[in-house]
């Protein structure tokens, strides 16, 4: 049995161990300590998100994403410690990431929009919003899409990229809302009487707030009507109840008091030519 080649291989192996053993050992220790540190960092970030009231559905995703990024950076650093050139490898990963990003541009925009919505909370589940083209109650917020239920019980699925990049009206953001009414009377009617009726009705409205106090004033003198503006404040949840009840109450009260509500009409004059 020829031991010469074996001895050569063993000698070469010994030289490699002597040359790179310390570096490999240091890289392994670096990986172990780094993994332990990453776990601690992710745990601290999780506690911070809980204290900051970050959405519960977003917390696991963010922790997983941050942990994965830190681990990738740790592995690249450990491999670099071994003397392996990482420039070309990182360039290939970057090019591949760019290609995937361009292919999934719309999805990535929706993803980024979902993260921003869940973090910044311009609206939340249960809020009534208007996106410009759709309005309804937010039923669910996911990473890519937001689900809105309209007052007619239709389900609208809106991409989060659109919601994060365009103006959104949130009617439920504040606890209170101002409700405005416009009621017109004829020029022959008594404006003091009409104003008294309107003020009485809005003051007696149980769901109208006393502070700020409601006001009634003449807004316009139109071609065929004197328009009154009625302004009051209410809880956001009571808005439509007041809107629906006041119109009926005003019509009945005006009819009882003999106050007319003008409507478009046209006089026709007929001339007989001989």
- The confidence score (pLDDT) of residue 100 equals 56
232 pLDDT more than 90? yes
Within the chain, which residue ranges are assigned CATH 1.10.287.1260? 4-103
Alpha helices per DSSP H over the chain: 4-51, 59-81, 87-103, 105-120, 160-165, 191-204, 239-257
pLDDT greater at residue 211 or residue 266: 211
pLDDT digits (tens, 9 = 90+) for 82-135: 666 666 556 666 666 666 555 545 567 888 888 888 778 888 888 899 988 889
For 190-202, b/e burial (b = at least 16 CB within 10 A) is eeeebbebbeebb
* Contact predicate 186/262, CB 8 Å: yes
- The confidence score (pLDDT) of residue 271 equals 79
pLDDT greater at residue 229 or residue 15: 229
Highest mean pLDDT among 9-18, 22-31, 141-150: 141-150
**If one looks up domain 122-170 in CATH, what number appears?**
2.30.30.60
**What average pLDDT does the segment 163-191 reach?**
90
CATH topology of domain 176-257: Alpha-Beta Plaits (3.30.70)
**If one looks up domain 4-103 in CATH, what number appears?**
1.10.287.1260
Within the chain, which residue ranges are assigned CATH 2.30.30.60? 122-170
Those residues with Cβ within 8 angstroms of residue 174's Cβ, 6 or more apart along the chain or in another chain: 236
């Amino acid at each position: 049995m020829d031991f010469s080649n074996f001895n050569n291989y063993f000698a070469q192996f010994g030289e490699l161990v002597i040359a790179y053993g310390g570096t490999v050992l240091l890289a392994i220790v670096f990986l172990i300590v780094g993994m332990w540190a990453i776990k601690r960092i992710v745990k601290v970030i999780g506690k911070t998100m809980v204290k900051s009231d970050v959405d519960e559905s977003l917390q696991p995703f963010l922790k997983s994403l941050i942990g994965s990024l830190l681990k990738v950076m740790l592995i690249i650093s450990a491999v670099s410690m071994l003397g392996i050139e990482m420039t070309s490898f990182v360039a290939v990963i970057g090019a591949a990431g760019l290609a995937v990003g361009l292919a999934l541009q719309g999805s990535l925009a929706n993803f980024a929009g979902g993260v921003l919505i869940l973090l910044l909370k311009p609206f939340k589940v249960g809020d009534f919003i208007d996106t410009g083209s759709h309005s309804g109650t937010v039923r669910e917020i996911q990473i890519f899409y937001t689900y809105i239920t309209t007052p007619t019980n239709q389900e609208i699925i809106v991409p989060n990229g659109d919601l994060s990049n365009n103006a959104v009206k949130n009617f439920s953001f504040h606890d209170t809302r101002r409700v405005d009414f416009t009621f017109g009377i004829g020029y022959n009617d008594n404006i003091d009487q009409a104003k008294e009726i309107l003020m009485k009705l809005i003051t007696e409205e149980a769901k109208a707030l006393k502070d700020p106090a409601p006001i009634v004033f003449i807004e316009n003198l139109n071609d065929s009507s004197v328009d009154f503006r009625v302004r009051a404040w209410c809880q956001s949840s009571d808005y439509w109840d007041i809107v629906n009840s006041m119109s009926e109450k005003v019509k009945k009260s005006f009819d009882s008091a003999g106050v007319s509500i003008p409507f478009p009409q046209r006089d026709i004059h007929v001339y007989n030519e001989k």
